[in-house]
Amino acid sequence: MKAPTRPSPLEALDTTDERLVLRRGALGSLANALARIRSGDIGTLPIIVGIVLVWALFGILNPVFVSSTNLGNLLVQSASEGIIALGIVLVLLVGEIDLSVGSMAGVGSSILGVGFVVHGWPLSATVAVVLAAGAVVGLAYGLVFIHFQVPSFVITMAGLLALLGLQLVLVGQTGSINIPFSSSIVRFMEKDVLPHLVSYVAAAAIAAGYAGVSWARARRRARAALSSRSVASILVPSVALLAGLEFACWYVNRAGGVSDAFVVFAALVAVMDFLLRRTHWGRAVYAVGGSREAARRAGINVTAVYLSVFLLCAMFASLGGMFLAGWLGASSTEAGTGNVNLDAIAAAVIGGTSLFGGRGSAYSALLGVAVIQSIANGLDLLNLSSAQQFMITGGVLLIAVIVDSISQRARRAHGRA
């Protein structure tokens, strides 16, 4: 017990309990972080350690892995899977699952091929139709789930088959519709990058935005007589964020640059994170995930919450399918099949979103997909067959789930289950 209650001229309302161990200043924050990790509140730590390990390992095995070109590619490859994983995060947060995201992505990709290429629809109209298709499917899942109380994994498994059939019908006999290489969607996925200057300015803006939001919150809390972060404890991470992002931009800009598709994905993650943490809807999502019955009794519209997450998940999947089609340059019957489904779910779980609801964040899609795609990319560079890739990815997923389980045990032992 260091300095239990240091008398301070401005005692904040939330630090007056004599049993609180207060640690102040930069060293204090560090000590707090270590204490949290020991009690199993590990947050994003294992995933960051995981990414560093994976990159170090593949970098040693094949130095090409950590080259600017390859890391730039990694960003593009992450976009479509990441957007699908973002939808999975939402359904996992309410303790449900959507097993059909791969097929939904396949349908999104086929609609793009049929509408945009075969019928020559404008891209904006095609995007609208694809998103609407996702919305219809998600709404249907939600309504069946609410009205018939069928477990979501059964509903979406049925949906998986039905959507796979729809995808085969749409793409037709040929099995593949090539998207012209010069079309906007393919260029967007494969070529378009942020101009170098814009990438540096955007990185600076993100760091400044982080500092600004943190500072505004500290001001609001201080005004409400609550404890708030010191200027130093805001500035240090902000400067670190600035340095990290600028370095990353510089490194990737040496070759291709920061892909626009990845920027769209990252922006979606940031928007979803904001909605989940700061709005009534987000609070309701976590509440339903924590205890559906408690949320219902408290007057939360549980039905609307379920509908909204199934809807958003299917829409993200259909959007991810368009990205997939642009990246592959074709809408084929293969799009969205194979490991797309499980990779998206694995990414969300590896990123730290609990399979049991109520715990996780939008950023787990970003972090989880970084691990999954790094492994896939690294194994490709080592010329390993897809058989070996499957087995290794499976092993990584198992490790992630075990880490989650161990940290949950630590949380329980420290009363934070």
Partner 1 sequence: MHPNDGRATAATARPILALHGISKAFGAVQALRDVSLELWAGEVVALLGDNGAGKSTLVKILAGVYSPDAGAIEINGQPVSITSPADSRRHGLAIIYQDLALCENLDVVANLFLGRAEGRLLLAEESMERQSWALLRSLSAKIPSVRTPVASLSGGQRQTVAIARSLLGDPPIFVLDEPTAALGVAQTAEVLKMIRQLRDRGHGVIVITHNLADVRAVADRAVVLFLGRNNGIFDVREVPPETIVAAITGLNGHAKGQPAEASAGASTP
Question: Smallest gap, in angstroms, from Cβ of residue 324 to partner 1?
Answer: 33
Using CB under 8 A as the binding rule, whether residue 295 contacts partner 1 is answered as: yes
Per the DSSP assignment, residues forming a β-bridge with 331 are 177
Binds partner 1 by CB under 8 A, chosen from 119, 191, 220, 409: 220
Q: Residue 134 or 357: which CB sits closer to partner 1?
A: 357
Q: Residue 144 or 300: which CB sits closer to partner 1?
A: 300
Taking the alpha carbons at both ends of the chain, their separation in whole angstroms is 24
Q: Which helix (H) or strand (E) holds 379?
A: helix 363-381
Using CB under 8 A as the binding rule, whether residue 55 contacts partner 1 is answered as: no
- Going from the C-alpha of 310 to that of each of 88, 94, 247, the distances in angstroms are 9, 10, 38
Question: Smallest gap, in angstroms, from Cβ of residue 17 to partner 1?
Answer: 5
Binds partner 1 by CB under 8 A, chosen from 83, 160, 268, 287: 287
Using CB under 8 A as the binding rule, whether residue 2 contacts partner 1 is answered as: no
Question: Smallest gap, in angstroms, from Cβ of residue 195 to partner 1?
Answer: 33
Which range touches partner 1 (CB under 8 A), out of 3-11, 43-51, 245-253, 356-364? Answer: 356-364
- What is the DSSP-derived secondary structure letter of residue 180? P
Using CB under 8 A as the binding rule, whether residue 294 contacts partner 1 is answered as: yes
Q: Residue 213 or 232: which CB sits closer to partner 1?
A: 213
Contact map string, positions 358 to 377, toward partner 1, x by CB under 8 A: xx------------------
Give me the half-sphere count of Cα atoms (radius 13 Å) on the Cβ side of residue 17.
Answer: 5
Tokens describing residue 58: 């593949």
> 3-state class of 77 per DSSP?
helix
**Contact predicate 58/65, CB 8 Å:** yes
Which range touches partner 1 (CB under 8 A), out of 77-85, 196-204, 224-232, 368-376? Answer: 224-232
Report the distance separating Cα 121 and Cα 105, nearest Å: 19
Binds partner 1 by CB under 8 A, chosen from 23, 187, 229, 414: 414
Using CB under 8 A as the binding rule, whether residue 298 contacts partner 1 is answered as: yes
- What is the DSSP-derived secondary structure letter of residue 416? -
**Contact predicate 129/111, CB 8 Å:** yes
Binds partner 1 by CB under 8 A, chosen from 23, 229, 254, 411: 411
Contact map string, positions 11 to 30, toward partner 1, x by CB under 8 A: --xx--x-xx----------
In this structure, how many other beta carbons lie within 10 angstroms of the beta carbon of residue 367? 24
Which range touches partner 1 (CB under 8 A), out of 152-160, 264-272, 289-297, 378-386? Answer: 289-297
CA-closest candidate to residue 258, choices 319, 182, 203? 203
- What long-range pairs does 212-220 form, CB within 8 A, spacing at least 24? 214/238
Contact map string, positions 318 to 347, toward partner 1, x by CB under 8 A: ------------------------------
Which residue type does 92 have? L
Binds partner 1 by CB under 8 A, chosen from 186, 300, 312, 350: 300
Q: Residue 240 or 406: which CB sits closer to partner 1?
A: 406
Triad 294, 91, 378: Cα angle to 5°: 140
Question: Smallest gap, in angstroms, from Cβ of residue 159 to partner 1?
Answer: 28
Using CB under 8 A as the binding rule, whether residue 416 contacts partner 1 is answered as: yes
Using CB under 8 A as the binding rule, whether residue 35 contacts partner 1 is answered as: no
Residue 351 backbone dihedrals phi, psi, to 5 degrees = -70, -5
Q: Which helix (H) or strand (E) holds 177?
A: strand 176-178
In this structure, how many other beta carbons lie within 10 angstroms of the beta carbon of residue 105? 35
Among residue numbers 87 through 106, which ones bind partner 1 (CB under 8 A)? none
Binds partner 1 by CB under 8 A, chosen from 35, 61, 201, 226: 226
Cα torsion 365, 368, 374, 376: sign:
negative
Which residue type does 107 have? V
Among residue numbers 259 through 278, which ones bind partner 1 (CB under 8 A)? 278
Binding positions for partner 1, rule: CB under 8 A: 13-14, 17, 19-20, 220-221, 223-226, 278-280, 283, 286-287, 289-291, 293-295, 297-300, 357-359, 411, 414-417
